A and B are shown apart, each in its own frame.
Chain A
Amino acid sequence: MAIAKAERLMNLALCLLHTRRPLSKRELRESIEAYTEAFGPGRGGAGSDDSFNRMFERDKDDLRELGLVIETVENLDGEVGYLARRDSNRLPPITLDAEEAAALGLAAKVWQQARLAGAASGALQKLRAAGLPEDVDPYEAHGALEPRIPVHEAAFEPLMLACRDRRPVVFDYRKATAAHPEPRHVEPWALECWRGHWYLAGFDRDRGAERVFRLSRITGKVRSRGARFTAPVPDVVTVRETVAGWAGEGADRSARIRLRTGSGYPLRAKAVSVRELGNGWDELEIPYGHGLDAWLVEFGPDVVVLEPEELRADVVDRLRAVAKG
């Protein structure tokens, strides 16, 4: 049976951490059992060096992903060697009290996405190894608070990596009202989760402007394209403000409606003022932004728009469409 990958990675990591001088690829190949077993004498044959080289490169990349800083050094003979210097791999001193430890314990459980859940646990484990106190989480004590970050969109992980590595991406995107998706070329800046949905902000190369995309509308695969982009990424990307703007938040006008007594609690909760008319109806002043017409129509005959005329006309228009069936 082939030696498990975790065992191979662990041995490579320990060799690189332990050594004080750079170890050549040949030395590593000869001393790590997983390599000798797969590529040692008698196992060779054409392509064996290539396969070893590929595996070795992948293994180094994997160790770098978990945070190991591996240096490549050339010796006097021109031979390349590798080592993980202690100075560059040591966690700087960090002291956390029990409350801070508990807070991080709660935070480490929040991700619902495998890669980030693994990374968060990994961070916590490194801190534990460094002496992070092991007091129980105050919420966990009674199991009362469970924040969870949902990630259901397949596009999330490739976009997260592309944002991190500043790699331009291309994906098919279906706009809210469009029948068919269209390819988009984007320099990804940041991902933001709001109300349980993920959004991407970035620079749309075809449109030459900043755009925000909803991940659930990306169809098919996200492909990473070419070299890193060098255009600056804004320090502050206001995904939420942009999305909230489309959704009608930040309304600067107001509308007057009549609402049947006892109904439409969410409208009342948003109202600037409520006046009882006494005839089974109340009059409300509510903020008026994009999308209010569609919302008011949901309440059917329990809502009557008084003003402005524009909103009244939109609501009547919608009601007529439904009435026609």
Chain B
Amino acid sequence: MAGKPARPVNAIDQTRRMLSLVTYLRERPGARIEDVARAFGITEDELVSDLDVLPMCGTSFRGGDLLDIDTDGERIWWHNPSALEAEAAEPLRIAADEATALLVAARAVATLPGLREGDRQALLRATAKVETAAGEAAGASARLSVTFESEGGVFADVDRAISERRRLWIRYYSPARDELTEREIDPIRLVSVGHTYVEAWCRRSEARRTFRLDRVAEIRILDEPSAPPEVELRDLSEALVQPAAEDPEVVVEVGPGGRWVAEYYPHDSADELPDGGLRITLRTPDPASLRRLALRLGRDGRIVAPLDLAASARQAAREALLAYDGGAGAAHDGGSDATAYGAVSDAGRAGPSATGAEAAAGAVYGTAPSVPRGAQGVDDRQEQGL
């Protein structure tokens, strides 16, 4: 499984693991390195480094025995299990941080709309048992909570298609062009990072694409088998969107009321301006798609470069105003082609409301990109919006 978080060597984590390892190995003479590493969710190298430390450890109060644990590279042998009384090797109670980490994550996954009901029930049962076993230590877990957003029906269909290895047909909304497109995709996996995405092989573009579930307008499971080419699974958690170095540069200047742009759009730089605003430089393969941002900003900001993008935003606003200035709300039927407006990624919410809010939320109106910054292959960008 891709996306295992990097584990820096941490003495506390390693000690915690070795204490469990001692308990585990005591019951399993000749355990295989491969199996133990998998059970403990660590690499074989990490396990081997633990096995290097363990023979230096013991209940060595005044010359007690050290643990005589060694390995032939395949199996692990403990030659003197009596060095540690059974009672001293019993499984240890769960610490507050451990209970918090496991329980908060389990509760979050259980809230994922579309999760198989059997799995949700298993999560809830396991959560209840761990709460009981952790006792008081479980209390601190109430201080953290996480909600994943997902479209339950779409999620369930994608999940089914993956397990049955079948192709999907979707109608998908692209905010960059404000249009719906139909395509057939071979789903690879579901990734939830705040929002939920399906990574798939897109048969129309013959490339890997990432689709956000709440932008799937319609979905059907096809009879055809899914046959995505073997692709290396990247760690999407760090970054779903990354502009490429050769992409054109866009410069946006915002006032204090438009500072949220820097929170929602991955950018190269954001320099403070004297009025409390920011000058933000970002790159996008399709600058026209940012017209939507320029319109949203209103008096809180403007596109500085490229000039034609700034001009197209002004032009769109003037055209829109015709419908109002031209008389009592009559729909203006003027000849512009809707698809010419490359709307993009929906902005975050602007400032706080009149109620004195201290923070503005991720967009409800307009779906904020709400993706972590950092790297992602060029091929995913189109479907995501910037």
Instruction: Evaluate contact between B194 and A143: CB separation under 8 angstroms.
Output: no
- Closest-by-CB residue of B relative to A8 is B11
In chain B between 22 and 62, which residues have their CB closer than 8 angstroms to a CB of chain A?
Answer: 23-24, 35, 38-42, 53-54, 56-62
Instruction: Evaluate contact between A300 and B108: CB separation under 8 angstroms.
Output: no
Instruction: Evaluate contact between B135 and A18: CB separation under 8 angstroms.
Output: no
Instruction: Evaluate contact between A128 and B24: CB separation under 8 angstroms.
Output: yes
Give Cα A105–Cα B126 distance, bound, in whole angstroms: 11
Cβ of A76 under 8 Å from chain B: no
Contacts of B142 on A, CB cut-off 8 Å? 190, 235
Cβ of B363 under 8 Å from chain A: yes
Cβ of B162 under 8 Å from chain A: yes
- Closest-by-CB residue of B relative to A250 is B364
From the candidates B98, B233, B313, B368, name the one contacting A126 in the complex (CB within 8 A): B98
Give Cα A138–Cα B4 distance, bound, in whole angstroms: 17
With A120-B105, A145-B190, A297-B295 known as contacts, the answer to whether A112 contacts B5 (CB < 8 A) is yes
Instruction: Evaluate contact between B105 and A323: CB separation under 8 angstroms.
Output: no
Instruction: Evaluate contact between A94 and B109: CB separation under 8 angstroms.
Output: no
Q: Mark B109-146, 1 if CB is under 8 A from A, else 0.
A: 10010000011001101100110110101001011111
Cβ of A74 under 8 Å from chain B: no
Contacts of B162 on A, CB cut-off 8 Å? 142, 144
Give Cα A129–Cα B148 distance, bound, in whole angstroms: 31
- From B72-80, B201-209, B370-378, the one touching the partner chain is B370-378
- Closest-by-CB residue of A relative to B341 is A300
Q: What is the minimal beta-carbon distance from B38 to any residue of chain A, in angstroms?
A: 7
Q: Mark A88-109, 1 if CB is under 8 A from B, else 0.
A: 1111111111011111111111
Cβ of B323 under 8 Å from chain A: yes
| B contact residues, total (Cβ < 8 Å) | 165
Give Cα A3–Cα B57 distance, bound, in whole angstroms: 11
Q: What is the minimal beta-carbon distance from B299 to any residue of chain A, in angstroms?
A: 4
Instruction: Evaluate contact between A122 and B362: CB separation under 8 angstroms.
Output: no
Instruction: Evaluate contact between A114 and B8: CB separation under 8 angstroms.
Output: yes
Instruction: Evaluate contact between A94 and B132: CB separation under 8 angstroms.
Output: yes
From the candidates A95, A103, A134, name the one contacting B106 in the complex (CB within 8 A): A103
Q: Mark B309-344, 1 if CB is under 8 A from A, else 0.
A: 010011011111111100001011110101001010
- Closest-by-CB residue of A relative to B35 is A134
Q: What is the minimal beta-carbon distance from B93 to any residue of chain A, in angstroms?
A: 5
From the candidates A112, A116, A125, name the one contacting B20 in the complex (CB within 8 A): A125
Contacts of A32 on B, CB cut-off 8 Å? 60
With A65-B97, A91-B133 known as contacts, the answer to whether A180 contacts B347 (CB < 8 A) is no
Q: What is the minimal beta-carbon distance from A112 to any residue of chain B, in angstroms?
A: 5
- Closest-by-CB residue of A relative to B368 is A195
- From A40-48, A49-57, A238-246, the one touching the partner chain is A238-246
Contacts of A247 on B, CB cut-off 8 Å? 349, 360-365
Cβ of A263 under 8 Å from chain B: yes
Cβ of A272 under 8 Å from chain B: no
With A9-B15, A304-B324 known as contacts, the answer to whether A99 contacts B118 (CB < 8 A) is yes
Instruction: Evaluate contact between B275 and A123: CB separation under 8 angstroms.
Output: no
Give Cα A299–Cα B368 distance, bound, in whole angstroms: 15
From the candidates B53, B61, B180, B320, name the one contacting A23 in the complex (CB within 8 A): B61
Cβ of B163 under 8 Å from chain A: yes
Instruction: Evaluate contact between B341 and A302: CB separation under 8 angstroms.
Output: yes
Q: What is the minimal beta-carbon distance from A28 to any residue of chain B, in angstroms?
A: 8
Give Cα A17–Cα B173 distance, bound, in whole angstroms: 60
Contacts of B275 on A, CB cut-off 8 Å? 179
From the candidates A31, A91, A164, A300, name the one contacting B60 in the complex (CB within 8 A): A31
Give Cα A88–Cα B151 distance, bound, in whole angstroms: 45
Instruction: Evaluate contact between A176 and B237: CB separation under 8 angstroms.
Output: no
- Closest-by-CB residue of B relative to A4 is B53
Among the interface residues A86, A247, A316, which one has the most CB atoms of the partner chain B within 10 A? A247
With A126-B94, A264-B178 known as contacts, the answer to whether A116 contacts B101 (CB < 8 A) is yes
Instruction: Evaluate contact between A14 and B352: CB separation under 8 angstroms.
Output: no
In chain A between 1 and 52, which residues have their CB closer than 8 angstroms to a CB of chain B?
Answer: 3-7, 9-11, 13-15, 17-19, 23, 27-28, 30-33
Instruction: Evaluate contact between A302 and B338: CB separation under 8 angstroms.
Output: yes
Instruction: Evaluate contact between A269 and B366: CB separation under 8 angstroms.
Output: no
Cβ of A172 under 8 Å from chain B: no
Q: What is the minimal beta-carbon distance from B66 to any residue of chain A, in angstroms?
A: 9
Cβ of B245 under 8 Å from chain A: no
With A15-B61, A125-B40, A263-B338 known as contacts, the answer to whether A91 contacts B91 (CB < 8 A) is yes
For the complex of A and B, the 8 pairs showing the least CB-CB separation, nearest first, are A179-B276, A196-B194, A67-B95, A247-B361, A214-B359, A295-B365, A18-B59, A130-B91
Q: Could you write out 23 A-B pairs with CB less than 8 Å apart?
A: A6-B15, A10-B18, A14-B59, A30-B62, A32-B60, A112-B5, A134-B38, A138-B119, A150-B194, A176-B357, A193-B145, A196-B195, A212-B358, A247-B360, A258-B331, A265-B178, A291-B365, A298-B347, A301-B320, A304-B320, A318-B298, A320-B317, A325-B314
